[in-house]
């Protein structure tokens, strides 16, 4: 019995009618990794939602290595929501603080510099933890671990892998169709998620870990 990744490699070769002697698993796996990267950059769907917590250290928190976009940042256990500011607005004393109450001073604001979330301009008097809800990268498919896109959205996954393969010196008249279908499907999935967010539907349960 093969694994999830091996099965995907076989599936892609079957679509292309190409044998393992021409494109072994190592090559097809590279297409899969590139497809995961590209879909991570453009998809924003409920299965990408992740929640992590970390203690604030010198007014900053290291962002998770797999973060794509922040959905919500808040202090825990107090639950105070942090509002995003641009770095200029966050640090420039000439810019007004958010209205108070309930957001007094910079301790209820954050900005992003590189892979750090910066909170509080003048320091925090007591230890604080930040809970970050964010869109994560698509986890890599392996033989032992299936990822959510292969489980819940195998069509868009397969088509994107095929599109990547078409960039690998593979001449296939379906390449243009795959490209258009990816754009259409990704837009439909993102728009459906926007409707979910607006209607207040429940997102999938997410695992919790320390970030970094």
Q: What is the pLDDT of residue 195?
A: 83
Q: What is the pLDDT of residue 203?
A: 43
Q: What is the pLDDT of residue 77?
A: 82
Per-residue model confidence as pLDDT tens digits over 84-120: 888 888 777 665 554 443 434 555 788 999 999 988 7
Q: What is the pLDDT of residue 127?
A: 66
* CA distance linking residue 57 with residue 117, whole number of Å: 11
Q: Are residues 67 and 91 in the same domain?
A: yes
Q: Sort 45 into a burial class: Cβ within 10 Å, 0-12 / 13-18 / 19+.
A: buried
Q: Are residues 34 and 62 in the same domain?
A: no
Q: Is the pLDDT of residue 140 over 90?
A: yes
- Out of 10-14, 120-124, 160-164, 177-181, which region has the weakest mean confidence (pLDDT)? 120-124
C-alpha of 44 from chain center: 7
Question: Is residue 65 one of the residues assigned to a domain?
Answer: yes
Q: Are residues 117 and 59 in the same domain?
A: yes
Q: How many domains does the chain have?
A: 2
Q: Are residues 67 and 114 in the same domain?
A: yes
Question: Is residue 212 one of the residues assigned to a domain?
Answer: no
Q: Are residues 38 and 52 in the same domain?
A: no
Question: Is residue 29 one of the residues assigned to a domain?
Answer: yes
Q: Are residues 3 and 57 in the same domain?
A: no
Partner residues linked to 54 by β-bridges: 130
- 190: Cβ–Cβ under 8 A, 6 or more apart, which residues? 42, 43, 44, 45
DSSP sequence for 22-65: TS-HHHHHHHHHHHHHHHHHH---GGGEEEEEEE-BTTEEEPPT
The DSSP secondary-structure symbol of 158 reads H
Question: Is residue 185 one of the residues assigned to a domain?
Answer: no
What backbone torsions phi and psi does residue 13 show, to the nearest 5 degrees?
Answer: -65, -35
* CA distance linking residue 29 with residue 125, whole number of Å: 49
pTM: 0.80
pLDDT band, very low/low/confident/very high, at 46 (cuts 50, 70, 90) = very high
Task: At 193, list the tokens.
Answer: 């998620």
Domain residue limits at 81: 48-135
pLDDT band, very low/low/confident/very high, at 57 (cuts 50, 70, 90) = confident
Question: Is residue 141 one of the residues assigned to a domain?
Answer: no
Q: What is the pLDDT of residue 47?
A: 93
Judge contact between 176 and 183, C-beta under 8 A. no
Residue 4, SS3?
A: helix
Question: Is residue 162 one of the residues assigned to a domain?
Answer: no
**Residue 151 CA neighbour count, 13 Å, CB half:** 10
**Domain-terminating residue out of 135, 162, 194:** 135
Question: Is residue 94 one of the residues assigned to a domain?
Answer: yes
Residue 171, SS3?
A: coil
Q: What is the pLDDT of residue 27?
A: 95
Q: Are residues 68 and 95 in the same domain?
A: yes
Q: What is the pLDDT of residue 93?
A: 62
Q: What is the pLDDT of residue 97?
A: 55
Q: Are residues 86 and 64 in the same domain?
A: yes
Question: Is residue 34 one of the residues assigned to a domain?
Answer: yes
């Amino acid at each position: 019995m093969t694994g999830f990744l091996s099965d995907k490699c076989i599936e892609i070769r079957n679509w292309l009618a190409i044998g393992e002697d021409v494109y072994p698993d190592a090559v097809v796996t590279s297409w899969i990794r590139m497809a995961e990267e590209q879909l991570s950059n453009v998809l924003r769907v409920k299965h990408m939602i992740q929640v992590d917590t970390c203690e604030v250290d010198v007014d900053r928190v290291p962002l998770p290595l797999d973060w794509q976009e922040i959905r919500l940042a808040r202090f825990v256990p107090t639950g105070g929501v942090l509002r995003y500011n641009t770095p200029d607005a966050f640090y420039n004393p000439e810019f007004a603080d958010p209205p108070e109450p309930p957001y007094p001073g910079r301790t209820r604001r954050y900005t992003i510099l590189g892979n750090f979330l910066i909170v509080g301009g003048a320091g925090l008097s007591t230890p604080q933890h930040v809970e970050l809800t964010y869109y994560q990268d698509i986890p890599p498919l392996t033989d032992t671990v299936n990822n959510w896109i292969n489980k819940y959205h195998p069509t868009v996954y397969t088509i994107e892998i095929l599109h990547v393969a078409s960039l690998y010196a593979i001449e296939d008249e379906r390449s243009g169709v795959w490209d258009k279908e990816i754009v259409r499907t990704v837009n439909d999935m993102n728009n459906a998620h926007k409707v979910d967010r607006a209607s207040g539907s429940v997102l999938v349960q997410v695992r919790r870990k320390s970030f970094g």
